[in-house]
Amino acid sequence: METNETAIQYQAAEKELMKLIEAVEAIEEGNLKELEETIYQGIFKIGRKLMECAMKKKNDCLPVPTRIQGECGHNQKLVGYRKKKLLTMFGEVEFERAYYQCQVDKERENEQGQAQPCSHGRAPADELWGMKGTRATRGVQQYISYLCSMLTFDEAAETFRRFLPLKMSARQALNLAKPVGKALAEKEDEEVKALFDKILQPKTDEKDEEQPPMVKDIKRLYIEPDGIMERMRRASVPMEKHEQERKGDVYREDRVGAVFLAERGNERSELAPEVWIDTPKEGSQRYVARRTARGGFDKLLYTLACQSGLQRAEQVVVIGDGAHWIWDLADEQFPGAVQIVDLYHAKEHVWDVAHAVFGRTTPQGASWAKQACDLLVHGKIEDLVAQISQLPSIAPLPGKSKSVPEQALGYFTTNAERMRYPAFRAQGMHVGSGIAEAACKTVVTARLKRTGMRWTPDGLDALLPLRTAKLNRTYDQFWEAQSQLVA
């Protein structure tokens, strides 16, 4: 009996299947293109009918009381059955469900003694199917958000429309992807909080104290933080006086971090020919990114490092471009780590000095810079500082209190121990922050710095975790824990 009733419920889907079979049979032999397109379109039609039939069957099984309790605390009365159109992976489907609405609350009266109406409405079936306040399914949101992590909203919507029989606009794509990014950001914050709560929790359990030491099965873990400027919409962020007085774009910093495991590369060290230089282990690179003004980047990067095996690493290496915040981060979050100033950024400082003192494209400047870079590469920082000190004095640039050579003296003196490149190369260490620069391009530039793009803080805060979840291959894992659409 139940089988017959089920068959009746799905008759509409069965009719679509029969139509598809007839259409396939009528296709001329050898016309592979038409055959493929016919089956492709037919599958979506069948899918829509199956969804409508299945939802109707489930809804018909639900009890339909004449009154229910509303979320507002009032009694709600059944006012009829209303249709709702829903965007699904098969296209737009329509189903009918019971709809309830609040009645006039006679106990609540205004000063004139008139009853105060309440207009709240509710469809319990929407809550059952996870569609309260939305017209898109979890699947639609999951896939369009994934596309938004790689493509502009216009491109994501167009790509979605091309492969699925469903209308999708750039605005819809944004509205569906934004809460996903927000949920991913909240998940990041939860993981950070859980880790640091565990670290700060006092060890009172004797079993914890008796645990064996962590096995150090990772030879070397690299951490590379960097910053990149992002173009923001005017007035979307607090602006300095000089920004308010001039027209044009406003820029703010995002911070990006890359963490990866090392393995022996294919290149030998130019300073230690018998040593092979580290290269990132395939599949080990993971990223975090956060708007600097939002805060919390340091702990977020530490959490990612722990997830990548920080406690199991024999040695930790932090590479940066020399910015003070990077070394403050390293000292606080990764004490004991080897700190290295990226060799290529250090060379840029040498050339800046040469250009400032001798002028650009001059033989004297090029000759001096090459000799100075040779000292730098061989870790002779004190000799390099002496060479800069002997240069003729020049005036500071407008708005600066120190000249370029004077700034360079402070840079090389402060970072001297982070520039002992022969010692680093002798251990096979990677001494360039190319991974961090590539991370800035991969995480931010490729998606968020396209021509004409300007962002609001909310937009960046949503897109950055969405982008890193895709790159870290954790996006699908996030959705496995979601039972319905993310609001």
CA atoms within 13 A on the CB side of 212: 4
pLDDT tens track for 32-50: 999 999 999 999 999 999 9
Pairing of strands 115-116, 105-109: antiparallel
d(CA 350, CA 152): 39
b/e sequence 121-150, b meaning 16+ C-beta within 10 Å: ebbbbbeebebeebebbbebbbbbbbbbbe
In a domain, 310, yes or no: yes
Confidence class of residue 204 from pLDDT cuts 50, 70 and 90?
low
Q: How many Å separate Cα 355 from the centre of its chain?
A: 39
Residue range 378-401, pLDDT digits in tens: 999 999 999 999 999 999 989 889
1 has a pLDDT exceeding 50: no
Is it the case that residue 68 has pLDDT exceeding 90? no
Starting at the edge strand that comes first in sequence, how are the strands of the sheet with 121-122 ordered? 67-69, 75-88, 91-102, 121-122
Residue 119 lies in a domain: no
State the pLDDT confidence band at 322, using cuts at 50, 70 and 90: confident
More confident residue, 412 or 8: 412
Residue 414 lies in a domain: yes
Report which of residues 182 and 234 the model is more confident about: 182
pLDDT at 310 over 90: yes
Specify the residue for token string 């293109």: 33
- DSSP E strand stretches across 66-217: 67-69, 75-88, 91-102, 105-109, 115-116, 121-122
* pLDDT for the residue numbered 377: 93
Q: Is residue 460 part of a domain?
A: no
pLDDT at 269 over 80: no
Tokens of 313: 């690493």
Residue finishing a domain among 61, 80, 104: 61
pTM of the entire structure? Answer: 0.87
At residue 420, the 3 state secondary structure works out as: coil
Alpha-carbon distances, residue 186 vs 83, 215, 232, 402 (angstroms)? 34, 31, 23, 43
Report how many domains make up the chain.
Answer: 2
pLDDT, the chain, mean: 89
Residue 247 within any structural domain of the chain = yes
Q: Is residue 237 part of a domain?
A: yes
Which residues form the domain of 21? Answer: 2-61
Residue 405 within any structural domain of the chain: yes
Residue 171 lies in a domain: no
